[in-house]
């Protein structure tokens, strides 16, 4: 067991995310993020959005990364992850974002923009449409 580099909660050295704060690979002294190109928004999505094309998406409220992966591979143009009305933690949301395929952008709704959850998620996964 080691301390999470962000919240100091005790975590396994093999942990993928801290269960307390959601930090990815919390036992590592530093973490530079995911592979640079893996989280960039699909440029075609932005273009279609600005053109006013009909884009289909679905809401994800379950803390099951397999659902996000399945939906992102099922032809949806985007996913809506609801962190306001469900019981999703920061760690759950991060796992859902990782599971969604790079070509399927995600919109995350958080309870409030001054919520610590918002700053953690936007710091690690923030992308503009």
* 3-class DSSP state of 27: coil
Q: Find the Cα–Cα–Cα–Cα dihedral 57, 62, 65, 71, rounded to 10°.
A: -20
Active site residue 9: no
Which residue, among 48, 64, 49, 65, has the nearest Cα to 100 in the 3D structure?
Answer: 65
The rounded radius of gyration (Å) of the Cα atoms in the chain is 15
The count of other CB atoms within 10 Å of the CB of residue 112 is 9
Q: How far is CA 74 from CA 53, 78, 81, in A?
A: 19, 10, 16
53, 85, 127, 129: which one is catalytic? 85
Residues serving a catalytic function are 85
């Amino acid at each position: 067991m080691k301390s999470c580099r962000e919240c100091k909660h005790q975590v396994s050295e093999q942990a993928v995310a801290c269960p307390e704060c959601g930090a990815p690979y919390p036992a590592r002294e530093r973490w530079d993020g995911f592979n640079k190109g893996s989280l960039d928004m699909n440029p075609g999505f932005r273009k279609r959005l600005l053109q006013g094309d009909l884009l289909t998406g679905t809401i994800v409220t379950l803390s099951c990364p397999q659902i996000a992966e399945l939906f992102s591979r099922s032809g949806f143009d985007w996913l809506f992850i609801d962190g306001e009305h469900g019981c999703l933690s920061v760690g759950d949301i991060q796992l859902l974002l990782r599971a969604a395929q790079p070509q399927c952008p995600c919109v995350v709704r958080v309870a409030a923009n001054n919520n610590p959850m918002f700053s953690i998620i936007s710091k690690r996964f923030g992308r503009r449409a």
